[in-house]
Amino acid sequence: MTPDWEDAMHDLEAAEDFFALFGVDFDPAVVRVNRLHILQRFHDRLATAAMPADAAAGFALHAELLAAAYHDFVVSTPKKEKIFRVFQSLPDEPAFVPLAALAPRHEP
């Protein structure tokens, strides 16, 4: 890939575009359900990665990080990965609410 891949990234619109650009194989069903989670994980990994100066090495690193982000959601779920805040605030176990707590109370 030529150094133009960095410019091409700015024009990408869909998760599938990222997979096509970086040549990462994917299952459309996994991406359809987890696209935002995958792209956020990819973004988070890019933010902490040491970017090489060489364009080809940078391209390879982007492809590797995208593949790793995708793989996280092949083997796990958004709830377990807790990428977004809404999942971070959820308890691991469902809350128990007794039926009696839902019944109206009659005061004498």
Q: What is the pTM of this model?
A: 0.72
- The predicted pLDDT at position 5 comes to 87
Q: Is residue 82 over pLDDT 80?
A: no
> Is the residue at 78 inside a domain?
yes
Q: What's the average model confidence in pLDDT over 8-15?
A: 89
Rounded to an integer, what distance in angstroms lies between the CA atom of residue 106 and that of residue 108? 6
The domain in which residue 58 lies consists of 5-87
- Which H, E and C letters describe the chain, residue by residue? CCCCHHHHHCCCCCHHHHHHHHCCCCCHHHHHHHHHHHHHHHHHHHHHCCCCCCHHHHHHHHHHHHHHHHHHHHHCCHHHHCCCHHHHCCCCCCCCCCHHHHCCCCCC
> Is the residue at 94 inside a domain?
no
Indicate the pLDDT class of residue 89, thresholds 50, 70 and 90: low
Structural domains of the chain, count: 1
> Is the residue at 68 inside a domain?
yes
> Is the residue at 41 inside a domain?
yes
Q: Is residue 10 over pLDDT 90?
A: no
Residues 37-58 have pLDDT tens digits of 899 999 999 999 999 999 999 9
